[in-house]
Amino acid sequence: MSINPEYYKTPEYNLFNRIIRSFYNFYRYTLLSDEKYVKKRFLKAHGFELDLENPKTLNEKINWLKLNDRRPLHTELADKFRVREYIKKNIGEEYLVPLLFSTNKIEDIRPENLPDAPFIIKANHDSSGGIVIIDKLSANWNEIRQELKRRLALNYYDRSKEWQYKNIEKKIIIEDLLIDEGGKAPKDYKFHIINHKTETISVDASRGSIEHKRNWYNSEWQRSPFYWPSYKNGKSYAIPADYEIKRPYNLNKMITLSEILSKEFPYVRVDWYEVDNKLYFGEITFHHDSGYSPIIEKEWDIKLGEKLKL
C-alpha cells in the first residue's frame, strides 16, 4: 500500500509529526541522562566516542568540564544581564555596551518604552543573536514580541546540557547597537583562554551574512595552522577568509583583560568588540560551540587539548 504524497501536506500529518517529535524531544531532553545525551551528540559530531575517563582532545575536555564543573558563578556569567556587574567589578564599567532597557515582561517591549537610537534586543539566557532595530517606528512589534516569547520559552540547557543556562532568570535586555566605521556590525574577537593563558584567537567578520568568515590567530597576530568552524545541519560555516584581518588596535589590552576574567576557570572564551578604537566586552562562554565542532585538522584538537589541565 502506497501513501499519497499529498498526505504529507495535510493538517493531520503535521499534527501527527508534531506529536511524534514532542515525544522524541521529551525522551532525549528529559529521560536521557546528561552524560548519555552528551556522548550521543559527541559521537554524531566527531565520529568517535567521547572518553570521559581519559579525555585527550580540547573538545573532549570541554565536554568533560560541561559535565563535571558546574558552579553558581557559571550561571551568573552566562547571564547577559548579571555578567555586567562582574565585568564592572573586575575590569571596569567602561567596557560595557550601554544598557538602555531591561524587563522580564514581553508586553513592556513597545516603541514608547524604547529609545530612538538604533539598538539590539536580546534574551539574557540564550546564545542566539539579537534583534536589530534601526528605526523603531517601522518595526513590526507584534512579530518581535512573538519571537521574544518563543525565545523566552526555550532553555538552552536542554539542547546542549550546558548547566550554566539551566537556571538563569530570564530577561529581555536592550543595548546600544554597535556599528563600525562602515555602518556594519563590528568584528567579533574571541579569545580562547586555556589555564589562564591566551592560546588562540578567532575573529569573525561579516557575521550574519553569507560572507561570514572566521580567521584564527595566535597572540602575536600570526595566522594559526588550524581552524575551528561552526556547523549547522551538518555543514560547516565561518571558515577562514583568503585575506588577512587587520590586527586590532587594542589586541594587547584584550589579551590582558581576557586573562584577568579567566582567573577562576581552566577554559573560557572571552569575546570583545572594537569600535573607533574603543573596546567593548561581548560575552563569556564556557564551552565553545558546546564542544561539538571539530577542529581542523584533528591533530590540533589534540595539541590544544594537551594544554588544558583539568
pLDDT in tens, the chain (310 residues): 455 566 555 665 565 566 555 544 554 566 799 999 999 999 999 999 999 999 999 999 999 999 999 999 999 999 999 999 999 999 999 999 999 999 999 999 999 999 998 999 999 998 777 999 999 999 999 999 999 999 999 999 998 999 999 999 999 999 999 999 888 899 999 999 999 999 999 999 988 778 899 999 999 999 999 999 998 887 888 999 999 999 999 999 999 999 999 999 999 999 999 999 999 999 999 999 999 999 999 999 999 999 999 9
* The pLDDT of residue 1: 45
Please answer whether residues 223 and 216 qualify as being in contact, where contact means their C-beta atoms are separated by less than 8 angstroms. yes
State the pLDDT at residue 21: 57
Task: Residue count of the chain, please give it.
Answer: 310
Task: State the Cα angle at 124 between 120 and 125, rounded to 5°.
Answer: 135
pTM of the model: 0.90
The set of residues, in sequence order, having a beta carbon less than 8 Å from that of 281 and lying 6+ positions away, is: 87, 91, 95, 96, 97, 270, 271, 272
Residue type for position 78: A
Torsion of CA 44, 266, 272, 97, to 10 degrees: 110
Closest CA to 96 of 283, 253, 288, 285: 283
Among 207, 166, 149, 198, CA closest to 74: 166
Query: How much is the pLDDT for 153?
Result: 94
Question: Which helix or strand (DSSP H or E) is residue 173 part of?
Answer: strand 172-176
Pseudo-torsion of CA 108, 111, 113, 115, nearest 10°? 140
Sheet holding 188-194, edge to edge: 213-217, 197-205, 188-194, 267-275, 278-285
